[in-house]
Amino acid sequence: MSENKIVLSVNINSIKGKGLDPNTFNLKKIFFELRRKEILAIVGPNGIGKTTLLNSFLNILDSNYAVDGSVSLMGMDTVCSSEKALTNLRKNVTKYIFQDAANCFDPLRKLIYYFDSSIDKNELEHYLNYFLLPPCDNLLNKYPGELSVGMAQRLAIIWGLLSKPLLLLLDEPSSALDAPIINLLSHKLKEWTEENNSSIVLVTQNIDFAIHTATHISLLTKDGLIHNSKNDIPNLQKNLCGSSTASKS
């Protein structure tokens, strides 16, 4: 399969909150294409709608939101597809790691449930060691609620990487991590996309993490998605500061 194949093509004119004040929430002009081995970082201030946008890609927005446009994931428009087709797509093509990583796991199941015999145990141990987590036997016999926030986030990311989806969606993946672990994560995500011929979309407020991780960076603003050059860091930081000010006004 061609390495240059388009994995995700987004053409969203607007995402509106039904019954919500359009002056407080109204995403618009979201246009981009993502190919294999590419990492898109969408940066923006808190409350601008980054998670809402990420949810729209898999059509998991609640009924309060209406999407005007299309989201083509491997040729299937997720905006208008059947729930059966969407379930199959979410199961076999993508993996979505939430910002609150503990929500990726059932609190009543031990973590070993998610790392069954289909998982390469040597690869799992490699990831646990890489991300400075306890060995498999110690960690996976715990319940999600027994983990710290940072441990849960690392383990959820490992779960996503081991699944080897075509498209990995990450919501604020560095939010609960300290600087050394963030650096490890940045390196591993770049390595993973190359080795698996996969793609990543991540949303973050951490501009340094975005710069060091992504192949492409876009800024989410009230006026739309603005594509930025990684080589123009001062302008990117200026735009982010301006967007943050506008979102609070």
Residue 249 above 50 pLDDT?
A: no
Residue 227 above 50 pLDDT?
A: yes
Task: Say what the pLDDT of residue 242 is.
Answer: 60
- CA–CA separation, 136 and 148 (whole Å): 16
Query: 168: which 2 tokens?
Result: 């990995």
pLDDT band at 232 (very low <50, low <70, confident <90, very high): low
Task: Say what the pLDDT of residue 63 is.
Answer: 86
Please report, for residues 92, 141, 155, 181, 213, the alpha-carbon distance to residue 144 in angstroms, rounded to integers and kept in the order given.
Answer: 24, 10, 10, 20, 28
Mean pLDDT of the chain: 90
For the segment 53-75, the average pLDDT, to the nearest whole number, is 94
Angle at 117 between CA 113 and CA 120, to 5 degrees: 110
Task: Say what the pLDDT of residue 90 is.
Answer: 93
For the segment 108-123, the average pLDDT, to the nearest whole number, is 90
For the segment 44-73, the average pLDDT, to the nearest whole number, is 93
Between residues 211 and 3, the one the model is more confident about: 211
Task: Say what the pLDDT of residue 168 is.
Answer: 98
Task: Say what the pLDDT of residue 181 is.
Answer: 97
- CA–CA separation, 76 and 83 (whole Å): 12
Please report where in the chains the tokens 């672990």 appear, as a residue.
181
Backbone angles phi, psi at 23, to 5 degrees: -80, -20
User: Which domains does the chain possess?
Assistant: 1-81+201-249 (3.40.50.300)
Residue 24 above 60 pLDDT?
A: no
pLDDT (tens digit per residue) in 190-210: 999 999 999 999 999 999 999
pLDDT (tens digit per residue) in 164-186: 999 999 999 999 999 999 999 99
Residue 231 above 70 pLDDT?
A: no
